[in-house]
């Protein structure tokens, strides 16, 4: 094990350069224009896996390809098997003008590497690959078989991953899945995330007149779709921060006293949090702490609004249509499909007869909950303590990794969420970054994890 | 006069070709990229005026230049003086994809000339120029002096015209201003418009977090500016179509029984109107007819909404900010400045403490009202009858020509609004067109108008 850690330490700078190469690919899965970049990025990853001695290949899907790589198997040996999951696709980088330096030109400042995808998720899964390299390069025997599944559609809902897992169910059946795509509550404070929120997305478009109309000539006789949309959206959330849709909370399991106690132990200073976000004041569901609001309670968010003239100056029109992108963060036991139905049923009920409504379902993903006192969770906590030299905390996280529930269903395995992102890593925002100390700690974590997990089998 | 009419008839095709040349200039005043096109368009117009024998020049302003042209004055002769006003700037042509043929490539289909600016306003003021050409070319003496003032900023609020009028007050003092920039209620049915709505514009931007945030990581603890904006906008208009701002209706003069009777005589078939607009159902202020709602009642309109991610696919963010472009159509006696104040005061009161609000005032213009039984109005009605061969109607129009109130204040003259646009001319919309029969009738109207008006002086 010392040889592995020495190797990781000795190659630290090269690993950073490799991560820089990786984040230079603008692998934005949501934007068709970046399809060639997606492929080039995936090919780079496969070549990287092969270079360190893994058997690797690019698997086509109906969408972006999935990189599949595994440690060499010794004939006859029966070892525990773990899957490491990651994603090489990234969020769109817009708005570009808010980046201090271009999103796909990595920049190092102190211990931070700035680039879109640095933290979400390229740096986090590359750390695991680095650790495997250290095992293989030093001739240290891995106590388990490992398979890396790195997909290219996480940011657009992982639409082809479940099918991929089903097709390769025998090959991918494993004792646990390991995912580093979550966060730590503070620098140096490692965390095992035992719950994730789910998500469901609905897009709504209201159309009034069949073209933009002169607001002087026709204004007063026709509804304004942007006004109709505002009125429809306005009543989705009440003044207490509750989602105002009948049945929305029906399946929500109340937080237990134990959980509230765990969450209350997490570091939090309202003044710092307010300053960090840059908001004039916080807003959340009455009766819950900020940690509870952002990780253990469901929400409604408007992700985008579009209507009429948005250019310079004014255009005195009644816009023909108005649209909104909505997502709902869900908690364990809420069904994304059921919530999407409730949302649409509710919205349809309130669409005025003066406009036509069209709905488009977006991606959905179930929330996830793992028993934080299971042997695997405890193995993960020990590896975190070894890697970071500090007692880890138990965390719920507000983000969604819908595929985690698929791992359970298809591969029969629980997922250990061992995240390396810091609260200020700006995932999904301009100036995304990844902490290079966490990158190194992530490599040590991965090195320490396999013996801990393998020992359970 | 017969010589004038014969000339107009003989040169009909050439006049159409000239109008085609005129609308080929993409003279979009709101978009800085079109500044060279604006200048080229104005220069074309001045050259055209000079070609028919007018003294013409381009007058610089702080914004786009104003074309000024006048009939040759005979030394010592004291004739009545009238100003013809028009504007060579046009609305933005977006969304381009809804145009059947490109907006700045004129296309003739039947008696319709399709192009941005054809009806609003190039075709309408060119008809007056054509009539003057006919007088001058046939050696028919004009019973009056005429000055053409054709500006380039009508679609962005005529910000420099009042100053221009004040500077040239002596030169431009006149007995009446004639403007063809309004509409006719139906093909073949001429109208004198005796009232216009005013307008005031306010833009609002709400900012929450100082960047777009990951809706999973932070969602639940911060307000969503797009939701805050929707809730703010939603309460601006009630279910009865009333603007829900305290004091908004205070200065509105109720419609008289005479006016309601006049408006009731205008052609209107709800089924046709609904079909023409393509709306599922009409919506307007309870207690008023459609003609009243669209011409004699004030309104609130959202002209544009902008927030967050608007591209393909989804982006799970809490947007940093959300903005809306608002305009309010006003009726005689409402003050644009006062209404803008009321609007901002009301909105500020309801901005939640979780976001920061910024307001930007747009252009404003007062509504206009002319006594429909004044001698000049009756002269206009007679000229309309002569040109169209049909009894004209009295109309209020919902659009705004803010400068009309400036003509009254600065030049001391009333304005005759003798519009040539048809209800389906798609002003401000894709596929704008101008009826070539109305173009010809407009030329005859202008020819008949000057003797009628001059006789009053």
A348 interfacial to chain B (CB closer than 8 Å): no
Provide mean pLDDT across the span A229-239.
98
Nearest CA in chain A to B324: A310
A137-161 pLDDT per residue, tens: 999 999 999 999 999 999 998 999 9
Residue A258 has pLDDT above 90, yes or no: no
**Contact yes or no for A32 and B293 at CB 8 A:** no
Angle between helices B123-137 and B436-454 (to 10 degrees): 60
**Contact yes or no for A299 and B220 at CB 8 A:** yes
- B89 a catalytic residue: yes
B369 interfacial to chain A (CB closer than 8 Å): no
Mapped to the 3 state alphabet, what secondary structure does A214-258 carry? ECCCCECCECCHHHHHHHHHHCCECCCCCECCCCCCCCCCCCCHH
**Contact yes or no for B308 and A303 at CB 8 A:** yes
Provide mean pLDDT across the span B320-340.
96
Q: Are A183 and A419 in contact, with CB atoms under 8 Å apart?
A: yes
Which residues of B are less than 8 Å from A354 in CB distance?
Answer: 279-283
Separation CA A395–CA B331 (nearest Å): 60
Separation CA A105–CA A372 (nearest Å): 39
Which of B238, B237, B228, B235 is closest to B204 using CA atoms?
B228
Separation CA A440–CA A438 (nearest Å): 5
Q: What is the DSSP letter of A32?
A: G
Residue A157: predicted pLDDT: 84
- What is the least distance, in Å, from the CA of B83 to any CA of chain A? 25
How many Cβ pairs closer than 8 A exist between chain A and B?
Answer: 369
Separation CA A335–CA B409 (nearest Å): 66
B230 interfacial to chain A (CB closer than 8 Å): yes
Q: What are φ and ψ of residue B171, in 5° steps?
A: -65, -30
Separation CA A316–CA B6 (nearest Å): 40
Mean pLDDT of chain A: 95
Residue A457: predicted pLDDT: 84
Residue A130: predicted pLDDT: 98
Provide mean pLDDT across the span B296-309.
98
Which residues of A are less than 8 Å from B423 in CB distance?
Answer: 217
Which residues of B are less than 8 Å from A322 in CB distance?
Answer: 302, 305
B209-228 pLDDT per residue, tens: 999 999 998 999 999 999 99
Position A413 confidence tier, pLDDT thresholds 50, 70, 90: very high
Residue B237 has pLDDT above 90, yes or no: yes
**Pick among B33, B97, B305 to test the A interface (most A CBs inside 10 A):** B305
Mean pLDDT of chain B: 95
**Contact yes or no for A30 and B98 at CB 8 A:** no
Residue B123: predicted pLDDT: 98
Compare A265 and B114 and report the one with higher pLDDT: B114
Separation CA A418–CA A372 (nearest Å): 13
The two three-digit tokens of residue A141, written as one number: 């025997």
Q: Which of residues 370-409 of B touch A (CB under 8 A)?
A: 397-400
- The predicted complex's ipTM stands at 0.79
Element (H, E) at A139: none
Q: Are A244 and A347 in contact, with CB atoms under 8 Å apart?
A: no
Position B443 confidence tier, pLDDT thresholds 50, 70, 90: very high
A317 interfacial to chain B (CB closer than 8 Å): yes
Residue A290: predicted pLDDT: 97
Q: Which of residues 4-43 of B touch A (CB under 8 A)?
A: 29-32
Nearest CA in chain B to A294: B220
B393-427 pLDDT per residue, tens: 999 989 877 789 899 999 999 999 999 999 899 99
A327-384 pLDDT per residue, tens: 999 999 999 999 999 999 999 999 999 999 999 988 888 899 988 889 999 999 999 9
**Contact yes or no for B304 and A308 at CB 8 A:** yes
**Pick among B316, B317, B321, B402 to test the A interface (most A CBs inside 10 A):** B316
Which residues of B are less than 8 Å from A197 in CB distance?
Answer: 216
- What is the least distance, in Å, from the CA of B71 to any CA of chain A? 33
A5-39 pLDDT per residue, tens: 999 999 999 999 999 999 999 999 999 999 999 99
Separation CA B294–CA B273 (nearest Å): 12
Counting residues of chain A whose pLDDT is more than 90, the rounded percentage is: 87
Which residues of B are less than 8 Å from A398 in CB distance?
Answer: 216-220
The angle at the Cα of B56, spanning B54 to B61, to the nearest 5 degrees, equals: 155
Position B1 confidence tier, pLDDT thresholds 50, 70, 90: confident
B189-208 pLDDT per residue, tens: 999 999 999 999 999 999 99
Provide mean pLDDT across the span B296-303.
98
Within chain A, how many helices (H) and strands (E) appear?
A: 14, 18
A97 interfacial to chain B (CB closer than 8 Å): no
Nearest CB partner across the interface for A309, out of B234, B273, B304: B304
Q: Are A420 and A123 in contact, with CB atoms under 8 Å apart?
A: yes
Q: What is the end-to-end Cα distance of chain B in Å, rounded?
A: 20
Residue A325 has pLDDT above 90, yes or no: yes
Provide mean pLDDT across the span B419-446.
96
Strand partners, A90: A28
Helix (H, G, I), strand (E, B) or coil at A450: helix
Element (H, E) at B406: helix B403-406
Nearest CA in chain A to B281: A354
**Pick among A316, A340, A366 to test the B interface (most B CBs inside 10 A):** A316
Which residues of B are less than 8 Å from A293 in CB distance?
Answer: 220-221
Element (H, E) at B59: strand B55-59
Position B74 confidence tier, pLDDT thresholds 50, 70, 90: confident
Position A77 confidence tier, pLDDT thresholds 50, 70, 90: confident
A351 interfacial to chain B (CB closer than 8 Å): no
Provide mean pLDDT across the span B359-367.
89
Provide mean pLDDT across the span B344-356.
98
**Contact yes or no for B231 and A227 at CB 8 A:** no
The full set of domains in chain A, from first to last, is 2-196+367-454 (3.40.630.10), 198-252+298-365 (3.30.70.360)
Among A224-233, A273-282, A399-408, B351-360, the range scoring the smallest mean pLDDT is A399-408
Among A58-72, A393-407, B77-91, B235-249, the range scoring the smallest mean pLDDT is A393-407
Q: What is the DSSP letter of A116?
A: T
Burial class from Cβ neighbours inside 10 Å (0-12, 13-18, 19+) for residue B75 reads exposed
Q: Where are the alpha helices (DSSP H) in A52-157?
A: 123-137
Which residues of B are less than 8 Å from A221 in CB distance?
Answer: 273, 277, 282-284, 290, 293-294
Among A34-43, A400-409, B307-316, B404-413, the range scoring the smallest mean pLDDT is A400-409
**Contact yes or no for A311 and B353 at CB 8 A:** no
Q: Which residue has the tokens 């690019």?
A: A58
């Amino acid at each position: 094990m010392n040889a592995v850690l020495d190797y990781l330490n000795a190659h630290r700078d090269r690993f950073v350069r490799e991560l820089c190469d990786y984040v230079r690919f603008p692998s934005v899965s949501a934007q068709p224009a970046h399809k060639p970049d997606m492929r080039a990025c995936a090919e780079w990853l496969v070549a990287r896996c092969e270079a360190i001695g893994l058997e690797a290949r690019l698997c086509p899907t109906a969408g972006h390809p999935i990189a599949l790589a595994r440690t060499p198997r010794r004939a006859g040996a029966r070892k525990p098997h773990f899957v490491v999951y990651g994603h090489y696709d990234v969020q769109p980088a817009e708005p570009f003008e808010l980046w201090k330096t271009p999103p796909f030109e990595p920049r190092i400042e102190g211990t931070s590497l700035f680039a879109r995808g640095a933290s979400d998720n390229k740096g986090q899964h590359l750390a695991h690959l680095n650790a495997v390299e250290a095992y293989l390069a030093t001739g240290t025997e891995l106590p388990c078989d490992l398979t890396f599944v790195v997909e290219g559609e996480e940011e657009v809902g992982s639409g082809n991953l479940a099918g991929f897992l089903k097709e390769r169910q025998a090959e991918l059946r494993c004792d646990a899945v390991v995912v580093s795509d979550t966060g730590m509550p503070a620098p140096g404070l490692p965390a095992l995330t035992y719950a994730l929120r789910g998500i469901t997305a609905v897009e709504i478009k209201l159309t009034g007149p069949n073209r933009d109309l002169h607001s002087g000539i026709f204004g007063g006789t026709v509804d304004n779709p942007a006004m109709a949309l505002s009125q429809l959206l306005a009543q989705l959330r009440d003044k207490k921060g509750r989602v105002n849709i009948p049945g929305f909370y029906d399946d929500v399991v109340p937080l237990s006293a134990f959980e509230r106690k765990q969450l209350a132990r997490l570091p939090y200073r309202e003044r710092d949090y307010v300053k960090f976000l840059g908001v004039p004041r916080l807003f959340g569901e009455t009766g819950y702490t900020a940690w509870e609001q952002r990780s253990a309670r469901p929400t409604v968010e408007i992700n985008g609004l579009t209507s009429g003239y948005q250019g310079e100056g004014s255009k005195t029109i009644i816009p023909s249509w108005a649209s909104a992108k909505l997502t709902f963060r869900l908690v364990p036991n809420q069904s994304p499909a059921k919530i999407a139905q409730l949302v649409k049923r509710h919205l349809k009920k309130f669409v005025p007869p003066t406009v036509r409504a069209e709905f488009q379902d977006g991606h959905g993903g179930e929330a996830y909950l793992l028993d934080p006192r299971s042997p695997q969770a405890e193995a993960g906590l020990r590896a975190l303590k070894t890697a970071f030299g500090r007692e880890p905390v138990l965390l719920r996280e507000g983000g969604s990794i819908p595929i985690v529930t698929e791992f359970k269903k298809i591969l029969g395995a629980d997922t250990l969420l061992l995240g390396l992102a810091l609260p200020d890593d700006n995932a999904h925002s301009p100036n995304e970054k990844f902490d290079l100390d966490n990158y190194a700690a992530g490599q040590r974590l991965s090195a320490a994890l396999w013996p801990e997990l393998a020992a359970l089998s």
